[in-house]
Structure 1
Amino acid sequence: MENAVTSAPHIVVVGGGVSGLAAAHRLLGAGARVTLLEATTTLGGKLLAGEIAGAPVDFGAESMLARRPEGVELARAVGLGDRIQAPATANASLWTRGTLRPMPKGHVMGVPADPAALHDIVSAEGLARIAQDRELAPTEVGEDIGVGEFVARRVGREVVDRLVEPLLGGVYAGDAYKISMRAAVPQLFEAARSHGSLLDGVQDIQAKAAAKQQTGPVFAGLDGGIGTLPGAVADAVRAAGGEIRMDTPVLDLTRTAEGWQIRTDTELLAADGVVLSTPAWASSALLAAESPVAAAELSEIEYASMALVTLAFRRGDLAGLDERSGFLVPPVDGRTIKAATFSSYKWQWVTDRSPDLFVLRTSIGRYGEERHLDWDDADLVDVSLGDLGDAVGLAARPVATQVTRWIGGLPQYPVGHLAKVARVRAELAKLPGLRVCGAAYDGVGIPACVASAQRAADEIIATSTLAQNTQSDAGQ
């Protein structure tokens, strides 16, 4: 008997960052009819490509984890496979105690398997404190614990302040003592639960990684900038029949007998399903009526703000600048910048496209220390140049500058974050056809955001007529 033809369900994706675009791409691949609504005039969220002095650059995220597949696979799926590039150099440094020091090898998020690995970073007293780890009684971690709190208990605060803080800060712009170890460094959390000694746990992590024989670069970028990924995904979405509406804020969500009603500033849309890929505070507001418990949980997720200061110099003015990808700055050293990236050294495509220029950028601001973001652009440029002068002897003046402020750009993952996310998802599971995704849930990196989006899309698909049609087709 022939199956009745069922029209494709209409799914509305709210938010046009990389998560929303990835969700739309996944839904279209399963046969859904998709409308993506973006409140602003720009797609991509914190992925933003641009130019400075004619040189193409990223004004937001500049790379993605290559050893986690979702981001690289999405880039390949939308035709960017031949533009994936590894960093030209991974020679990073720490600017601490007044000098640039090579980034140590043999550690997991700053925690070494052997104290000697940090001989150039921490003091002799600090090295002795690390060695005491194997003499200490095991530390209970319970359901979760702060990364910095646990590491300081095991190997001392100096390791946290000089290495863990700048490494975690580069990802979350947060306070290492408060960031959830279970959410941010899950392999370290599992090692802490199974080993009495932290050093032994790190050694075990490294042994398991070696057994997997992972090769290739840890990170990847795109020729032209990682900020070109959203545009490519958007093109693929449109080519597959998806509709993308810009400058269309969503004001209200209402559950109906048939599905969902989405109110924008100009119309009412009917949908069989909804994917919210908006920041936690925006999702909280939209869910307040239909899921007040989930909305309350989401309203508690806090965000850090930061600024990126991009500087372009004449390459000839920077003769003698050592080749390195950049450096991190421990907050304990009291500097304003928290990191610098030497884009023209790190990415070959930057040099290839602008051989006469040298582009670098600094980052300023972290959770709880955001007063600098109220400064004028010129002041942020000047303080960046001052710190760069102290760090690497840079004395040249840039030919062009660009300050990009990411207000509320990075969600914070405090202790208990994953439990909060589980509670949110448990509440939303009571609402047929609605899921959430994005940086606020399972990780702030591009692969984690893509994975979050694909999970949301797959769960929508599994409860829609798409899954029913697939099962019916399989039974023919």
Structure 2
Amino acid sequence: MSQTHSGTDATGAPVNAPEHVIVIGGGISGLAAAHRLAGAGVRVTLLEASSRLGGKLYADEIAGVPVDLGAESLLARRPEATGLAREVGLGDDLEPPAVLGAALWTRGKLRPMPKGHVMGVPGDLGPLASSGVLSAAGLARLPLDHVLPRTDIGDDVAVGAFVAARLGHEVVDRLVEPLLGGVYAGNAYEISLRAAVPQLFAAMREGRSLIEAARGIQRRAAASAGGGPVFNGIRGGVGRLPLAVAEACRALGVTIETDTAVRELRRTPHGWQVVLDGRALAADAVVLAAPAPVAARLLAAESPAAAAELGGVEYASMALVTMAYRRRDMTRLPYSSGFLVPPVDGRTIKASTFSGRKWGWLGEAGGDTFVLRTSVGRHGDEADLAWDDTDLVRLSREDLEAAVGLRAAPVAARVTRWDAGLPQYPVGHLDKVARIREQVAKLPGLALCGAVYEGVGIPACIASGQRAAADILPGIVAAGS
């Protein structure tokens, strides 16, 4: 194959760049990689095993109202997601959520979400003490952080264990756990502090107390935000983003095939062979943007060590129950964006979002219809997912009645199941990622990206795809670099 692009390596030596790259996986990471490569003039083929692009970003409708049935917001303080949205023509549709505040449904009632925390770790004890989230015994435990010695946390530690040792288990169980669970659908006592809250980990490595570290992070975040929103949505749904990226890719000449599962991945003297059902495609390079189990299977022959590491990644399953109500039936609903539910309280739902209030565009689009949703399931707590869709709707309604007094029946309901939807980041996860990348670096023309590696959020996934493009093609720079 002729090589039509060139660049330099880290030493400045000239290297050839690929003419044809195959991207395996059509989630936002793979689409971001394809978009960046095609924009640099590379011929790209993107293969997606399912019938739909976008992965966990999925916009559809309920009762004629457009909604997100997957992720619904973008972290605005990272540039990758909002930057890509603007690149593909969605800049004017970026919209922050309404500033309404959220709540915790715990200890028998809705309680205001304490302000001034970093993923549940308080930087100010006042709001936490007045919120009612903690019992008297839990409140009495808080001041110990000021007198505990500032200890070395080593290379990594579980968030829950570390915080509980300093502030008590109630802070973890009723505040850290639901907040972390909203991001990772995981267990705070297993999730890596270094991977999930890296700023806090770095501050603790510097020898600060936990509260002092959280307070400093809060101050720096407020100063750097410049008054801008923390999160953004997209009018019509965040699920529009991958579709817009796909259209931009097609305009750049990218060939996109859905319902196309990759069976094997083989090295050849000239690059790579991607084996499909009944045919094989040749490529100079491959971007593997598939979930860990699929990546493990495809790498088993060419990199058994990387495959073994990937095969050990655990995933959480969850379901989203989206319901549409008559707006006139929602007059008693608290005026907030929704609430989180600590698993320790033993409820079925882990959260509820009042989408029709949280997103201005959705309130306008709904008219007389009000949309809300609940989430069910997390890593290690997935028994409720065995219920069928009708029962998940029933159980969600029962919890909503207990939490906010909502007795009305929805006019429509949809259950979206995300089986093995979110990779887990236990203690040592980033070391695992480093070992995987070390092994893959031995295979020229191969790069990995996706939620497994450096973050499960949309900006992190986009950055991962752009990094993969940069690994494949010299001269490409990921957004924010």
Task: State the TM-score bracket (shorter-chain normalisation).
Answer: over 0.9
Q: Distance in 2 between matches of 1:183 and 1:317?
A: 43
Q: Distance in 2 between matches of 1:70 and 1:213?
A: 15
Conserved 8 A contact 1:116-1:127: no
TM-score for the superposition, normalised by structure 2: 0.94
Q: 1:250 corresponds to which residue?
A: 262
Q: 1:71 corresponds to which residue?
A: 81
Q: 2:35 corresponds to which residue?
A: 25
Deviates more, 1:200-209 or 1:328-337: 200-209
SS in 2 for 1:226: coil
Q: 1:335 aligns with which of 347, 351, 368?
A: 347
Letter in 2 for 1:203: R
Conserved 8 A contact 1:344-1:359: yes
Conserved 8 A contact 2:18-2:473: no
**Do residues 315 (structure 1) and 358 (structure 2) align?**
no
SS in 2 for 1:305: strand
SS in 1 for 2:305: helix
Q: Distance in 1 between matches of 2:381 and 2:473?
A: 42
Q: Distance in 1 between matches of 2:375 and 2:4?
A: 54
**For 1:429-448, what aligned pairs fall within 5 Å after superposition?**
429-448=441-460
SS in 1 for 2:421: strand
Q: Distance in 1 between matches of 2:109 and 2:18?
A: 61
SS in 2 for 1:143: coil
Shift of 1:8: 6.2
SS in 2 for 1:306: strand
**Do residues 93 (structure 1) and 98 (structure 2) align?**
no
SS in 1 for 2:83: helix
Q: 1:250 to 1:314 in 2, by over 3 A?
A: same
**Do residues 41 (structure 1) and 71 (structure 2) align?**
no
Note the residue ranges of structure 1 that are not aligned, 5 or more in a row.
Answer: 468-476
Q: Distance in 1 between matches of 2:68 and 2:457?
A: 15
TM-score for the superposition, normalised by structure 1: 0.95
**For 1:205-354, what aligned pairs fall within 5 Å after superposition?**
205-212=217-224, 214-354=226-366
Q: Distance in 2 between matches of 1:196 and 1:74?
A: 36
Shift of 1:261: 0.5
**Do residues 148 (structure 1) and 153 (structure 2) align?**
no
Q: 1:472 corresponds to which residue?
A: none
Q: 1:305 to 1:5 in 2, by over 3 A?
A: closer
Q: 2:10 corresponds to which residue?
A: none
Shift of 1:293: 0.4
Q: Distance in 2 between matches of 1:352 and 1:209?
A: 31
Q: Distance in 1 between matches of 2:124 and 2:24?
A: 48
Conserved 8 A contact 2:323-2:371: yes
Q: 2:72 aligns with which of 51, 62, 75?
A: 62
Q: Distance in 2 between matches of 1:51 and 1:277?
A: 27
SS in 1 for 2:263: strand
Identity, % of aligned positions: 63
Q: Distance in 1 between matches of 2:429 and 2:373?
A: 31
Q: Distance in 2 between matches of 1:104 and 1:370?
A: 28
Conserved 8 A contact 1:89-1:345: no
Shift of 1:212: 2.9
Q: Distance in 1 between matches of 2:366 and 2:442?
A: 53
Letter in 2 for 1:102: P
Letter in 2 for 1:20: G
Q: Distance in 2 between matches of 1:209 and 1:21?
A: 29
Q: 1:129 to 1:294 in 2, by over 3 A?
A: same
Conserved 8 A contact 2:349-2:374: yes
Letter in 2 for 1:39: A
Q: 2:399 corresponds to which residue?
A: 387
RMSD (CA atoms): 1.4
Conserved 8 A contact 2:323-2:412: yes
Shift of 1:388: 0.3
SS in 1 for 2:46: strand
**Do residues 110 (structure 1) and 120 (structure 2) align?**
yes
Q: Distance in 2 between matches of 1:5 and 1:230?
A: 28
SS in 1 for 2:408: coil
Q: Distance in 1 between matches of 2:226 and 2:169?
A: 31
Q: 2:436 aligns with which of 424, 446, 471?
A: 424
